[in-house]
Structure formats: structure tokens, C-alpha cells
Copies of this chain bind each other. A is one copy, B any other.
């Protein structure tokens, strides 16, 4: 077990009706005027916006609206929101949406307090020394962003999908009400399942130091995600399944399962980021394509852990059997496992490989993931 620091000051308010107290949480942090970020106008149609604005107005908190944040969120929108936040002199950001809205909000919060261009913070040209306080009401459980300090945003101009992370960008309060997730589409449910499993396995398989207790926690998360995904596909209104799915999503990337783990990378995310940067595929759908292909290429480098995975998750014996079972499960729930299902053909591989050069550098994996290796992995996913 390697040395680690665990620090996660986010307060998670989990459960039914928790969004009704959002005004109180912001008031406790002295917020007077908030940038309310969201995606589509759906939150206005389904009543969530009115619940939130009522709670805020009861505490005398002014709202500056910033809608239109898209999946695979883009830096141009973040820049626009920073300009708005500055001109309106908001003192906090409240994200109402999924991981894309929340990640954008973290970037906005950090960007407002940084004099240069916010993309500098993603490429290491400047560090995050401060940020507006971020709050969120989560409407999709997948990214784990509600209880970590990371944020992933795409620069459309450069086709780079990079991340920030800072002690200043932990949400102050995250509202996770599984009932708000009951209307998530079947597609986004299964993409989310793939995303959570990806967060779980990156460290699990690639760490040079992987404590057994951490493997057990990861397996608990994966088993729960698989079980609850099937329950939700059968009955989207199963509140308890929705809740366990959401808590699994949070646990997969809140630092608990990674404590004491070291020497790991995020190769699946690295490859997927190129797919969504270039083709704007849903992140989870990209990941369910990448994972089986990557596993087939990688497993002989860590055979004991892949055998463990096969056994603990599927009750099977060999690494190959475990990988095949995961791929089959992805097929069963209906998340893609082939690039062709994303509309990507062999003709596009060179462009992906070009884009991956920068990603591999950014992820610190350029040594292992040469163009040749990446071509090998991608071909397995065709």
C-alpha cells in the first residue's frame, strides 16, 4: 500500500427531495448571487428549475442563468460563462445537470478567478489558486464529479479533451437525488454504467501498487453497477436500484477506492477522449468500445489481476473469459463495443492516432502507448 493523502471536503446530500434545500446550503456559504448553469431547457419543463429558483429566492439569492451546456462540454461555452459571471459579479456557481454541466461549472469557477484564458489551466500553463464555490444538483450519475475536484472539457478549436483538478474545485455541496434520474434515457443509463466501470478498472488493472482491500472495494462497485443496471433496464422507476447505482458512481471516483493505489494510468480514458473530441460520441459509449479492446491487448501484463476480475465479477477462471464476459454484458445492456457502432471506420484510424499523440503526452502515457500500440488496440475495436 503506497503513501497517500485522502481529503474530500464535499458534503453529499443524498436522497429524495434534497434539492428543495439548495437555497439553505448556498445561504450557509454566504452566497448572494449565483450563476445557475444547466444544459437543455428540460429542467424548466420538468419542474426542477422552479423548485430550485423557489428555494434560492426564499433565501434572497439572485440567479444569473447560463443554459445550453452540451455533453462533451466545450471550452468556448466555459469562456462565455466566465464573461457572464464576471459581468454579473456572481459569488458562486450552481450546476443543475449531469457531469458535463458540473465539469463546466468547475472550469467556470476556476476561470473567473484566473486573469488569463481558462484553457491555460488545462494545459498546465497556469495553476488554479482559487475558485468560486461550486454547488450542484446532479441529474445523471456517471462521472463521479459530484464528489471530486476534477473536470474534463473539450477545446473544439484544438480538438483536445483535457482535465483540471484542484483542491479549490471540490463542490461545497452536491445534491444527489436518485429520483431526479428516473427520466434518464435507456441509452444514457447504459453509457453511464460503462463510465463507472471504466473509472473502477483503470486503477484496478494498471496500478503497480494495488492493495487487496482496494480491489475488493472496486469489485463491490462494479458488481453493484452491473446488478442495478439490469434492474433499471427492467424497471426505470426502481428507486433503490437508482440510488445504489448513483452511490456506486460517486464511490468509483471520490478517492476512496484509489487510496494507497499507485503507478496507475487512465489509458481507456486517454483513448476515449480522442473519440469524443473528434466524433463527439457519448463518453460512456466510447469507453465501452475501448475497454474490451484495451483489455485484450493489456491483460497479459497483469494476468493475476485479470484472473481475479474474471473470478470475482463473473465467477469465471481465465482473464480471457472475464474480458469476453464483460464485452458480452456490454452487448446485452446495449452499450456499443465496436467503433463501427459509433459510425467510426478503419479509414478514420489515422486521424484518431494523430489526435492520440497529444493525449498520450497529456496523460503521461506516451512511453507505453506508441502509435503502433494504439493502432493495435483500435483495430481490435473495429
Residues of A within 8 A of B (CB): 1-16, 18, 178, 211-213, 216-217, 219-221, 223-224, 227, 239-240, 243-244, 247-248, 251, 256, 259-260
Contacts and interface: CB of A to CB of B under 8 A. Distances in A.
A212 B244 contact: yes
Nearest to A216: B220
Contact of A220 (B1, B213, B239, B243): B213
B211 A1 contact: no
6 contacts: A1-B247, A14-B259, A14-B260, A211-B240, A212-B224, A213-B224
Q: Which 3 A-B pairs have the closest CB atoms?
A: A3-B15, A216-B220, A1-B243
A222 to B, nearest CB: 10
A178 B3 CA distance: 10
A2 B212 CA distance: 29
A7 B11 contact: yes
Contacts of A178: 1
Nearest to A246: B1
Contacts of A251: 213, 256
Contacts of A224: 212-213, 216
A78 to B, nearest CB: 28
A341 to B, nearest CB: 30
Contacts of A243: 1, 211, 260
Contacts of A248: 213
A322 to B, nearest CB: 18
A6 B12 contact: yes
B6 A11 contact: yes
B211 A247 contact: yes
Nearest to A243: B1
B9 A9 contact: yes
Given A1-B243, A211-B244, 14 more contacts: A1-B240, A4-B14, A5-B11, A6-B12, A7-B10, A7-B12, A8-B8, A211-B247, A213-B221, A213-B224, A213-B251, A216-B224, A243-B260, A251-B256
Contacts of A11: 5-7
Nearest to A4: B14
Contacts of A220: 213, 216-217, 219-220
